[in-house]
Structure 1
Amino acid sequence: MGKTAGRKKRIIITTAAMLAIGGGAAFAYWTSTATADKTMQSTADSAPITISVGALAGSVLSPGGQAQNATFTVTNPGTGVQKVSTVVATILKSDGLDWAVGTCTKDDFEVSTTVVPTELSANESLTGTVTLKMINRVGVNQNDCKGVEVPLHFTAN
């Protein structure tokens, strides 16, 4: 009985040791690290804001005379919010070059705009005023400015 009990004991201990080793292997794991990078594009590109200008109203322009005024509307046709800080009107041809008719130039006029800086939500608009005045250039013949159409170029940002 001593031999059988000793043998059984060795079998039980060996089996337990094998299970412990095998069981330990079942709980073993690999270590690993991972990283990922992804560049996301914003949901939409901003659409350029649009500017529409009403007709100038007031007296006919003359050196040192009364000014003409018009309202303009800046609209955000995009899907996100856009900030409008300034709206500037200058006297330029539609191709962006200096304007002149004979000796009548932008130097014969004064242009100013009034707008309150704001953020425009999608499809929102703001209204401002543009004022055009002919200045009196002392000692300068301004006859070429009679009856001319003065082109206003608007820039908003």
Structure 2
Amino acid sequence: MRKLSKKSRITAAVAGVALVAVGGGAAYAYWTTTGSGNGSATNAAGGGTVTLHATFDAGLAPGNQVDVSYTADNSTTSSTVVGTLSANVTTNVAGCLPEWFEVTAVTSSSPVAAGAVGTPVGSGVLTFNDSTTANQDACKSAIVTVNVSSL
């Protein structure tokens, strides 16, 4: 093996010290690094809106009643709860008075899953009250609609 000259030894020593200094500096910087940060996201605005349906048998006549079934469709991506139901009656014939009808809506905070269709949320009774003072012939073949909403 060949001997290094004095100049080569000094150069090698300086290079070694420089290498250790650079490597040590990088390690020192790594171990003393600090940082901070945060993250946030906005949740959905709410449970969304369900579509409510009232279903009952046709053929109602004065003095009779039929059972009403209430269901809900939830097209949102999160489940929700249908609270108290409220219902009223309308008809498509001016002489067939909505006040001749009574409808009830009974429910108890029914959960409706995300994407569900036809989830039962309540029941009730639709009554066609028999009037003793008015001719109710206008209601023959009339369309009776039960409108339902959730509070």
Instruction: State if a TM-score over 0.5 links the two structures.
Output: yes
> Do residues 86 (structure 1) and 84 (structure 2) align?
yes
Alignment partner for residue 70 of structure 2, among 69, 72, 75? 72
Label 1:136 to 1:45 Cα distance change in 2 as closer, same or farther (>3 A): same
Unmatched 5+ residue regions in structure 1? Answer: 1-37, 93-98
Aligned residues: 113
1:109 positional shift: 0.7
Label 1:149 to 1:100 Cα distance change in 2 as closer, same or farther (>3 A): closer
Provide the C-alpha distance between the structure 1 equivalents of 2:84 and 2:77, rounded to a whole number of angstroms.
Answer: 21
User: Does the CA-based 8 Å contact 1:75-1:126 persist in structure 2?
Assistant: no
1:44 positional shift: 5.6
Provide the C-alpha distance between the structure 2 equivalents of 1:84 and 1:120, rounded to a whole number of angstroms.
Answer: 7
Alignment partner for residue 126 of structure 2, among 127, 132, 138? 132
Calculate the aligned-residue CA RMSD, in Å.
Answer: 3.0
Identical columns (%): 22
Q: In structure 2, the residue corresponding to 1:144 is in which secondary structure?
A: helix
Q: In structure 2, the residue corresponding to 1:80 is in which secondary structure?
A: coil
Provide the C-alpha distance between the structure 1 equivalents of 2:53 and 2:130, rounded to a whole number of angstroms.
Answer: 29
Equivalent residue for 2:99?
107
| Mapping of residues 6-25 of structure 1, within 5 Å | none
C-alpha distance after superposition, 1:3-22 (max 9, x if no partner): xxxxxxxxxxxxxxxxxxxx
C-alpha distance after superposition, 1:51-107 (max 9, x if no partner): 2344x226x32222x212242311333233422112222123xxxxxx462421101
Provide the C-alpha distance between the structure 1 equivalents of 2:81 and 2:112, rounded to a whole number of angstroms.
Answer: 6
1:40 positional shift: 5.0
User: Does the CA-based 8 Å contact 1:84-1:119 persist in structure 2?
Assistant: yes
Letter of the structure 1 residue corresponding to residue 99 of structure 2: D
Unmatched 5+ residue regions in structure 2? Answer: 1-38
TM-score (norm 2): 0.58
Letter of the structure 1 residue corresponding to residue 74 of structure 2: N
Provide the C-alpha distance between the structure 1 equivalents of 2:45 and 2:92, rounded to a whole number of angstroms.
Answer: 41
